[in-house]
């Protein structure tokens, strides 16, 4: 890819302080985009931006994607700095929801849906409306779902349901937002080496590797590269797709 691929574009990444979100921010910066790294942990978003060649051109923000006020304040902060909302969006903020369904707590269920699914809705809605308000009609959104959203992972029913919701939500809004010049697609990662997977014991990680034909756990950059491809014009005919990045993993 050339350094000009996303030159002049403003890209907002939620969950930008860690894992897949941070890796995506770094690839976006490499490709010339102005990057807005958002995270509920502001210090980690700041750490991401401080990895860039010129951090002052970019923005690190505290955003709780599950709260409409926080999402709206984020878009206002971007417009205040750049006189324009983002036109590229990656929804990577996410939480796990581990435990057997029969004893899974209602509060935990709500939190998982609020961050993973409602957060995706709030961000897509806010950016699409801000683009319309500013007369912008060329954008691309990428929602990070999960392969568990179509396969269903045992003892992860809420997480799997939230990600299945993200896949369906992406397909539905892609049919609406294409009329505003916005392409929307989702990525379904398999096991990726971030805090979410490395927290598991080695024996669990070994079991994951055994269920992954490529024989290893993926790197966050391997998802980030696909996200940046989907944001760029190189994927110009892709609308409503669910792209699997799994090493062949079967859960
Ligand atoms: N790692 C994997 O194996 C894997 C597999 C499939 C899908 N995913 C998905 O990829 C995405 C990124 O996960 P990751 O693996 O990089 O994990 P991660 O924990 O490294 O990153 C998630 C980030 O989201 C942030 N976050 C959590 N709640 C938030 C909120 N309310 N508002 C804003 N930010 C919030 C966290 O602070 C963190 O920085 C998630 O949506 C996850 O479900 C991960």
Q: pLDDT tens for residues 24-55?
A: 999 999 999 999 999 999 999 999 999 999 99
At 237, the pLDDT band (50, 70, 90 cuts) reads: very high
* 192 DSSP 8-state letter: B
Q: Is the CB of 94 under 6 A from ligand 1?
A: yes
Q: pLDDT tens for residues 50-107?
A: 999 999 999 999 999 999 999 999 999 999 999 999 999 999 999 999 999 999 999 9
Strands 34-39 and 10-14: parallel
58's CB contacts (< 8 A; 6+ apart) are: 29, 34, 35, 36, 37, 49, 52
What does the chain come to in residues? 251
Which residue in 230, 231, 240, 13 sits closest to 119, CA to CA? 13
Residue 249 falls in the annotated catalytic set: no
What are the chain's domains?
10-239 (3.40.50.720)
Q: What is the mean pLDDT of residues 228-237?
A: 98
Cα of 194 vs centre of ligand 1, distance in Å, is 9
Q: How far apart are the first and last CA of the chain?
A: 33
Q: What are phi and psi of 220, to 5 degrees?
A: -55, -30
Q: Is the CB of 41 under 6 A from ligand 1?
A: yes
Q: Please tell me the pTM assigned to this model.
A: 0.98
């Amino acid at each position: 890819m050339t350094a000009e691929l996303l030159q002049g574009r403003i890209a907002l990444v939620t969950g930008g302080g860690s894992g897949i979100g941070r890796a995506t921010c770094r690839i976006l910066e490499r490709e010339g985009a102005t990057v807005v790294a958002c995270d509920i942990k502001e210090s980690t978003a700041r750490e991401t931006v401080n990895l860039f060649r010129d951090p002052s051109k970019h923005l690190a923000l505290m955003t709780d994607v599950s709260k409409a006020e926080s999402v709206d304040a984020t878009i206002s902060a971007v417009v205040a700095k750049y006189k324009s909302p983002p036109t590229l969006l990656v929804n990577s903020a996410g939480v796990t929801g581990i435990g057997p369904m029969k004893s899974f707590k209602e509060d935990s269920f709500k939190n998982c849906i609020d961050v993973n699914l409602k957060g995706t809705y709030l961000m897509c809605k806010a950016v699409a409306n801000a683009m319309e308000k500013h007369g912008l009609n060329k954008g691309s959104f990428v929602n990070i779902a999960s392969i568990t959203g179509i396969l269903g992972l045992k003892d992860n029913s809420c997480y799997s349901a939230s990600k299945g919701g993200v896949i369906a939500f992406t397909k539905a809004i892609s049919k609406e937002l294409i009329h505003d010049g916005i392409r929307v697609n989702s990525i379904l990662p398999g096991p990726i080496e971030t805090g979410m997977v490395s927290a598991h014991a080695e024996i669990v990680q070994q079991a994951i590797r055994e269920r992954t034909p490529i024989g290893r756990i993926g790197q966050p950059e391997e998802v980030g590269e696909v996200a940046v491809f989907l944001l760029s014009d190189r994927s110009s005919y892709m609308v409503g797709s669910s792209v699997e990045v799994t090493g062949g993993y079967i859960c």
